[in-house]
């Protein structure tokens, strides 16, 4: 089944052709980084306008592999949410129009599910890959940071999440006060590789409390205070030290809580997903801790970590195979619809859920 995926939830306009095995035939991304970079973050109105300009050229480029022939496509999958609504509307409306005119099945995909299922893409290229359900998914991006138990493509439970900023947002804001520009994650990642992570003693936030939840706003403030007190590092090596120290604090808590979730749920597979999963420090630290605990770690290819439409097409292909279909009146949603949320005690052990209607005590 050849699925055309369309993604426009934030600042990337993307289209891809993928089948239900995760084989990728086309994977086109038009990034808006240059457009938003003077503002130090994504400006929603500008994002919507740029999606409007880019969406048809991007889809048309993806369709080049089938000579632009939509009759070779079996279905269309589009990111339905969460994201910026003005941005989502562009992809959703184009997907609906194409599905309607070409009488193709249509399905709406949750962007976060797409990130969590991304490691199944291009597995044919890696015969060693033994990824299977269940796994713990650490999703860390610019808009979300959360841990999930992924039992099946359609059975994903939220275990814990950030109480304030997302990890990617913390990277971007720290980079901004350090004068590194937007987006900050890749820049800090590059500098950190050359720096001393113990140069500035930032505390990994909420490492020993909050169960499987995260918090990054205090760390962001700590970096801002450091810069206020000592000024923006002038030398390349001081900048690298500050980057490495900040990155270590973020990575330590992400990696440790991901492992904690694996142990609490007795699951021996861990997946890193979302833009921050591209971080080399996180990949290395999670790899180290996972190896120590006998947990197998899976990370999507770099291009499948940041926003893309291949993960949307693949997630859509699975939903279509289950018989899911969206109506032509499909809406978009800005926030993640309610998910079952696990409750955890101080040690990260899950508190059994009371059956519906059961009395207190």
| Distance between CA atoms of residues 188 and 171, nearest Å | 7
The verdict on 13 binding Zn ion (CB under 5 A) reads no
Burial of 327 per CB tally in 10 Å (0-12, 13-18, 19+): exposed
Burial of 128 per CB tally in 10 Å (0-12, 13-18, 19+): exposed
Site string for Zn ion, 280-309 (x = CB under 5 A): ---------------------------x--
Beta-strand relationship, 24-31 and 12-18: antiparallel
Q: Enter the tokens of residue 222.
A: 């700590």
Q: Report whether 115 contacts 273 (CB < 8 A).
A: yes
Residue 171 binds which entry of Zn ion, ligand KG4, none, CB below 5-8 Å type-dependent: ligand KG4
Give the binding site for ligand KG4 (CB under 6 A). 10, 141-143, 168, 171-172, 183-186, 189, 274-276, 278-279, 306-307
Residue 278 binds which entry of Zn ion, ligand KG4, none, CB below 5-8 Å type-dependent: ligand KG4
Residue 279 binds which entry of ligand KG4, Zn ion, none, CB below 5-8 Å type-dependent: ligand KG4
Q: Report whether 271 contacts 116 (CB < 8 A).
A: yes
Choose between 113 and 307: whose C-beta lies nearer to ligand KG4: 307
Choose between 180 and 278: whose C-beta lies nearer to Zn ion: 278
Choose between 9 and 247: whose C-beta lies nearer to Zn ion: 9
Min dist CB 87 to ligand KG4, Å, is 11
The verdict on 141 binding Zn ion (CB under 5 A) reads yes
Min dist CB 172 to ligand KG4, Å, is 5
Alpha-helical regions (H) of 203-351: 217-230, 236-264, 280-293, 302-305, 310-321
Choose between 75 and 244: whose C-beta lies nearer to ligand KG4: 244
Residue 233 binds which entry of Zn ion, ligand KG4, none, CB below 5-8 Å type-dependent: none
Report which secondary-structure segment, H or E, holds 51: helix 44-62
User: What are the residues facing 110 on neighbouring strands?
Assistant: 81
Choose between 31 and 157: whose C-beta lies nearer to ligand KG4: 31
Q: Which residues bind Zn ion (CB under 5 A)?
A: 141, 307
């Amino acid at each position: 089944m050849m699925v055309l995926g369309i993604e426009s939830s934030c600042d990337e306009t993307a289209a891809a052709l993928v089948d239900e095995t995760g084989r990728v035939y086309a994977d086109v991304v038009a990034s808006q980084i240059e457009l938003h970079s003077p503002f130090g973050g994504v400006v929603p109105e500008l994002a919507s306008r740029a999606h409007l300009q880019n969406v048809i050229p991007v889809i048309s480029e993806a369709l080049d592999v089938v000579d632009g022939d939509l009759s070779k496509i079996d279905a269309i999958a589009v990111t339905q949410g969460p994201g910026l609504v003005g941005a989502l509307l562009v992809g959703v409306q184009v997907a609906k129009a194409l599905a309607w005119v070409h009488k193709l099945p249509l399905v709406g995909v949750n962007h976060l599910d797409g990130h969590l299922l991304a490691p199944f893409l291009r597995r044919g290229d890696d015969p060693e890959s033994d990824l299977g359900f269940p796994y713990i998914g650490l999703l860390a991006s610019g808009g979300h940071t959360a841990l999930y138990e992924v039992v099946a493509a359609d059975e994903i439970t939220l275990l814990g999440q950030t109480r304030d900023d997302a990890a990617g947002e913390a990277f971007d804001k720290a980079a901004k006060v350090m004068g590194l520009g937007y987006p900050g994650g890749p820049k800090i990642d590059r500098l950190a590789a050359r720096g001393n992570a113990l140069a500035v003693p930032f505390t990994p936030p909420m490492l020993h409390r909050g169960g499987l939840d995260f918090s990054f706003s205090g760390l962001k403030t700590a970096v801002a205070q450091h810069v206020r007190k000592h000024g923006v590092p002038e030398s390349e090596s001081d900048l690298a030290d500050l980057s490495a120290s900040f990155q270590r604090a973020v990575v330590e808590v992400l990696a440790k809580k991901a492992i904690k979730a694996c142990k609490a749920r007795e699951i021996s597979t861990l997946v890193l997903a979302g833009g921050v999963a591209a971080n080399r420090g996180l990949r290395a630290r999670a790899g180290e801790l996972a190896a120590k605990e006998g947990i197998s770690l899976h990370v999507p290819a770099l291009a499948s970590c940041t926003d893309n439409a291949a993960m949307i097409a693949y997630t859509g292909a699975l939903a279509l195979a289950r018989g899911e279909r969206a109506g032509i009146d499909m809406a978009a949603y800005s926030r993640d619809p309610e998910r079952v949320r696990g409750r955890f005690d101080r040690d990260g052990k899950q508190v059994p859920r009371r059956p519906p209607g059961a009395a207190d005590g």
